[in-house]
Amino acid sequence: MLPKTYRKSDIFFICQFSETRLRVLKCGRNIARRVEFLEVKTEEFPTLADQETVALSLGRILKELDFRDNSIIVSLPRAQVTCRYLKIPSKIPSEVEQIANLQAPRYLPYQVNELITAYQPILVDNDGYTHINLFIAHRDVVEKYIQIFSKLNLLHYSLFLSSVGLLNLYYTVNHQTNSSAILIDIDIDHAEIAIVDKDNFFLSRSFKVSPNLPGWENLIAQEINNTRNAYLKETFYKDPEKIVIFGSPDNLQGLAEIVKNQSIIPAEIFPYWQKLTFSQALLNQISSSGGSYANLVGLGLKSIPDSLNLLPPEIRSQSRNSLKAREKFRLAYLLLSIVVIFTLGILKNIDNKVRFLNYIKAELNKVEKDARSIGELQKRIEFVEKSHQHKPSALEILYELHQIVPEEVILTNFSYDQGGQIVLRGQTRQMNNAFELVTRLEKSSVFKGFEIKVRYTSTKKSASGDLTDFEIGGIKK
């Protein structure tokens, strides 16, 4: 039987890497748009690998798998991300995202700009609160991935939490089920637990465990019970109906029975490798690896909302623009090819056909050059427009004022109208403090584009000494 052929746009890759391990799974969508899993490459690093080593190994493996600038999905290990179940007092997605981002420093002791957030909306209650699962990663962790892909000149990639893959795998394969469950994925040196219900997951965690150590099954059962208790205490949702176990077929013997005996919830093994399209060679390779590919497989089964992407917004935007430009060029090339074929069919003279074909090739080269320059120009125009049109929200301004107002200054009044004008009134003991505040406002990224000046100052006597009243005004240029 001849091997199947796939269009370049139908091939994509899923990978997961750390300082100790690298896994890359090649996938393709067939003519029925069903995902098929084609090849897998793994590499274990004998010592902790640095970014340069990981980048070289990833580049080599992608080349072996015939990578041609395809899309890449990265599975971010659960241990590198903090998850929290929150209720946000808004049902507008843009506001939910903004408020969730400001909530992140409550759970990790860093400034907002040092953290990257993503979230999964779960429901909107009758009081107008949006319930979400918030994912928080330190920017340094995400930057390591970005630097690795930059070394390889790769642009089309996304970064999703591994727990999302387990959620996708369970409900995509069991598309008719609505039951809640505790999913547990057993890997070589750790396990991941996620509690899910109707395409949402409410809580997940990761912990160290090795199937090679004695009594590891009892540790798994204990951690499942601890996670279930934490979930019921934190979210107040219904008790999960069953425990579903993922992992390598070789690691699951006897585990289900031990978990059943130590839990009041039924437990079952989920043989996803029997329910999806794997070649026998690929199945043998995955089984013999001793590890689990459940979260990687799940991330490839269906498209994932952009709100779950843990890449910084500027990187996401760059990837989207690159994909749009590539699609536009592909469409232009297709249309031009149709014109060429149609015209060649009309022309009868062979010499005319050759000359016309050479002419079309030359024109196509011109179009390609123009398309590149137009694409770059369009990006610059969009950037300038966004920079000028964006008006900061009141929430952004309040947060920024909290960060930059000098300790010696007391703000007594603040106003911000729809026209983009701000007015600050306050008091200070020294007039220089008012001008220092103006300097800080002018340097602030939030107030970029504002024309800011001191409108008046007035000094008066008080029992505790001289006080200077001031008013500072600013308006968007």
Give the number of other Cβ atoms within 10 Å of residue 95's Cβ: 15
pLDDT digits (tens, 9 = 90+) for 150-168: 999 988 899 999 999 999 9
pLDDT on residue 413: 86
CB-count burial class (<10 Å; 0-12, 13-18, 19+) for 138 = middle
Task: Return d(Cα 375, Cα 367) in angstroms, integer.
Answer: 12
Mean pLDDT across the chain: 83
The DSSP letter of residue 390 is -
Residue 182 pLDDT more than 80? yes
Average pLDDT over residues 39-50: 89
Task: Return d(Cα 117, Cα 137) in angstroms, integer.
Answer: 6
pLDDT on residue 1: 39
CB-count burial class (<10 Å; 0-12, 13-18, 19+) for 4 = exposed
Is 136 within 8 Å of 104 (Cβ atoms)?
Answer: yes
Question: Please, what is the Cα angle at 155 between 153 and 289, to 5 degrees?
Answer: 85
The superfamily (CATH) of domain 394-476 is General secretion pathway protein M, EpsM (3.30.1360.100)
Task: Return d(Cα 452, Cα 99) in angstroms, integer.
Answer: 27
pLDDT on residue 161: 94
Question: Please, what is the Cα angle at 222 between 218 and 223, to 5 degrees?
Answer: 120
**If you search the block for the tokens 């793994």, which residue do you land on?**
42
Average pLDDT over residues 180-209: 89
CA atoms within 13 A on the CB side of 23: 20
Do β-strands 242-247 and 267-269 pair in parallel, antiparallel, or remain unpaired? parallel
pLDDT on residue 388: 46
Average pLDDT over residues 168-175: 88
Helices (H), 9-115: 51-64, 93-103
Domain map of the chain by residue range? 8-78+159-308, 313-389, 394-476
Return the exposure string of 343-382: e unless at least 16 CB atoms fall within 10 Å of the residue's CB, then b.
Answer: eeeeeeeeeeeeebeeebeeeeeeeeeeeeeebeeeeeee
Is 299 within 8 Å of 168 (Cβ atoms)?
Answer: yes
DSSP state string for 59-72: HHHHHHTT--S-EE
pLDDT on residue 192: 94
Task: Return d(Cα 404, Cα 442) in angstroms, integer.
Answer: 11
Q: Which amino acid is at 442?
A: E
pLDDT on residue 194: 93
Task: Return d(Cα 173, Cα 183) in angstroms, integer.
Answer: 14
C-alpha dihedral (310, 73, 235, 98), degrees to nearest 10: 30
Give the number of other Cβ atoms within 10 Å of residue 159's Cβ: 25
Is 232 within 8 Å of 216 (Cβ atoms)?
Answer: no
pLDDT on residue 261: 86
Task: Return d(Cα 254, Cα 62) in angstroms, integer.
Answer: 37
CB-count burial class (<10 Å; 0-12, 13-18, 19+) for 438 = middle
pLDDT on residue 310: 92
pLDDT on residue 390: 58
Is there a common fold for 8-78+159-308 and 394-476? Answer: no
Helices H, strands E: what count in the chain? 13, 17
> Check: CATH 1.20.210.10 for 8-78+159-308?
no
| Token digits of residue 216 | 């590891």
Is 242 within 8 Å of 266 (Cβ atoms)?
Answer: yes
pLDDT digits (tens, 9 = 90+) for 326-383: 555 556 656 666 666 666 566 555 666 667 677 777 777 766 666 666 666 566 556 5
pLDDT on residue 178: 77
Give the lowest-confidence range in 83-92, 229-238, 319-328, 414-423. 319-328
pLDDT on residue 384: 46
Higher pLDDT, 415 or 26: 26
- Phi–psi pair at 155, nearest 5 degrees: -115, -30
Task: Return d(Cα 118, Cα 132) in angstroms, integer.
Answer: 10
Reported as a pLDDT band with limits 50, 70 and 90, residue 274 is confident
Share of the chain above pLDDT 70, in %: 83
pLDDT digits (tens, 9 = 90+) for 398-454: 888 888 888 888 888 888 876 778 888 988 888 888 888 888 888 888 888 788 888
Q: Which amino acid is at 184?
A: I
